[in-house]
Amino acid sequence: MLNSLKGLWVTFVSTVNGLRDPVTREYPSTGTLWKRNKRPTPVQDRFMGFPALTWDGEVEEPFCTSCMVCIRQCPTQCMSATMIDNPAHQEGRSSRRKIVESFEINLNRCILCGICVEVCNFDAIVMSHEHEMSTYQRNGDRVDLPALLDIGKKFQQETEWVPPTVLAKQRAAKEAGQEEVAQDGPANEEPAAAADSADG
Ligand code: SF4
Ligand code: SF4
């Protein structure tokens, strides 16, 4: 009898807790059963939504050179692109000899695996936070270059995106600096030690 009551009490407490802070949430509502606000559940920083292309604000052009590496590696073959000679390079404004002319991703076929991001050597593609792009048309989710750049720019702005190669360089420089300090440390201590012994 006592054990049954204990069991019922556990069920009651779990139910009340579940109502106060549900494990599952009704989309797009968030909050508790009583305090609903109609907005999508915020995504985490590392959330992987649809792939998008990044924008190089320094040169005012896409990072993508249309090198085709991601297109060849994509397991669902949902991407296509074309390239042109970069007029900005000819004018001496950009280091990119080639630049993307057109780019398309069929997001209906994308499985959000992130391989395209992994293989890109130019920081040109990201897994954005965009995930609400359902349409009723069969080919309604074929997204072209301007739209991919728009999604990418939004993602860059929201996350204060820094190109991964720049981050890697910063990290390497920091580690090199720390190593230098570690190496310099004992050397700097020697004169002090020597001074101490001289005082003594
Ligand atoms: S996104 Fe990267 S890997 Fe893909 S075509 Fe552009 S530069 Fe090449
Ligand atoms: S996330 Fe995967 S499936 Fe989607 S475009 Fe990139 S490589 Fe292709």
Q: How sure is the predictor about 189, in pLDDT bands with cuts at 50, 70 and 90? A: very low
pLDDT of residue 18: 80
Q: Which residue is closest in CA terms to ligand 1's atom 6?
A: 64
Which CATH number does 51-164 carry?
A: 3.30.70.3270
pLDDT of residue 32: 56
d(CA 124, CA 111): 19
Q: Note whether 27 and 131 are within 8 A (CB).
A: no
d(CA 199, CA 195): 6
d(CA 132, CA 80): 22
Residues with CB under 6 A from ligand 2: 51, 74-76, 78-79, 105, 110-116
Lowest mean pLDDT among 23-27, 178-182, 191-195: 191-195
Q: How sure is the predictor about 149, in pLDDT bands with cuts at 50, 70 and 90? A: very high
User: Helix, strand or coil for residue 57?
Assistant: coil
Per-residue pLDDT for 129 more than 80?
yes
d(CA 45, CA 170): 20
pLDDT of residue 186: 52
User: How do the domains of the chain map onto residue ranges?
Assistant: 51-164
Atom of ligand 2 nearest to the CA of 70: 7
d(CA 82, CA 15): 56
